[in-house]
């Protein structure tokens, strides 16, 4: 498929464990976003990669959260020492680039921290 | 700071009734506004954007810079319009896109 792909689709982990969530954007898309979707909180911006520019990390809620994007393509969101409040759906989106507007979303990774 | 506000978490209307989903924003520059929709068990997807000035699935939205609003409207709601709707904002120059909290629309038969 040519859409944004995320894995795993579901992840259940124990409090205190580290998790990694992966995003494969649409080929050729230079912009990549991570959002967190939880009940009552809407879509919370986490981090934004645009080409070779320094990422906008202003939405990361704590230093337990980090993300990287290798080779301008695949991205990994890492949550260290998970807490129960980290439970949410983590959405990845990509877009063609600067000023192209439309974001294309993946199906999300549902994280449950017990 | 830029912010998108959707004051209604849930909106319930009868089929055939008009519907308006409210969106207000705060931004000092020239924003670009969007509406995204997520139907049950589907991905979040773009519904419409203000620069296109088009009607999608009978929905329209007008950017009112004076009131800093971008309300989504449809004159006659259909059951298949039931979904989660998000208002979003960005600006030119490679700025991030931020979203509101979303409004769940439920259209009753």
A36 contacts: CB under 8 Å, gap ≥ 6: A43, A44, A46, A88, A89, A90, A91
pLDDT bracket for residue B7 (50, 70, 90): very high
- β-strand A88-95 against A104-105: which pairing, if any? antiparallel
Q: Do B9 and A102 touch (CB under 8 A)?
A: no
Three-state secondary-structure class, residue A86: helix
Tell me the CATH number for domain B3-108. 2.60.40.10
| pLDDT given for residue B85 in this prediction | 97
**pLDDT tens profile B25-76:** 998 777 889 999 999 999 999 999 988 878 889 999 988 988 999 999 999 9
How far apart (Å, rounded) are the C-alpha atoms in residues A48 and A93?
9
Set out the domains of chain A in order of their start, with CATH numbers: 13-97+105-113 (2.60.40.10)
Residue of B nearest to A50 (CA): B94
Predicted confidence (pLDDT) at residue A1 exceeds the cutoff of 60: no
> CB–CB of B23/B72 below 8 Å?
yes
Residue that is written with structure tokens 């439920």 in the block: B106
- A99 pLDDT above the threshold of 80: no
Residues in A closer than 8 angstroms to B45, CB to CB, are 105
Cα B105 to Cα A19: distance, rounded to the nearest angstrom: 33
pLDDT at position B51 is 80
Of residues A20 and B65, more confidence is placed in A20
């Amino acid at each position: 498929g040519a859409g944004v792909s995320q894995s795993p689709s579901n992840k259940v982990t124990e409090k205190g464990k580290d998790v990694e969530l992966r995003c494969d954007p649409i080929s050729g898309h230079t912009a990549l976003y991570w959002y967190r979707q939880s009940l009552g909180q809407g879509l919370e911006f986490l981090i934004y990669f645009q080409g070779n520019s320094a990422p906008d990390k202003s939405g990361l809620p704590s230093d337990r959260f980090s993300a990287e994007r290798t080779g301008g393509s695949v991205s990994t969101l890492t949550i260290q020492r998970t807490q129960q409040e980290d439970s949410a759906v983590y959405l990845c989106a990509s877009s063609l680039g600067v000023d192209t507007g439309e974001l294309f979303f993946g199906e999300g990774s549902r994280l449950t921290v017990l | 700071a830029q912010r998108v506000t959707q004051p209604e978490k849930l909106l319930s209307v009868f089929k055939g009734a008009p519907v308006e989903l409210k969106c207000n924003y705060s931004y000092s520059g020239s924003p670009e506004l969007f509406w995204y929709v997520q139907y049950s068990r589907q991905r979040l997807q773009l519904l419409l954007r203000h620069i296109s000035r088009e009607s999608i699935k009978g929905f329209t939205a007008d950017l009112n810079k004076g009131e800093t609003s971008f309300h989504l409207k449809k004159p006659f709601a259909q059951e298949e319009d039931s979904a989660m709707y998000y208002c979003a904002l960005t600006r030119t120059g490679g700025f991030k896109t931020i979203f509101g909290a979303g409004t769940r629309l439920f259209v009753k038969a």
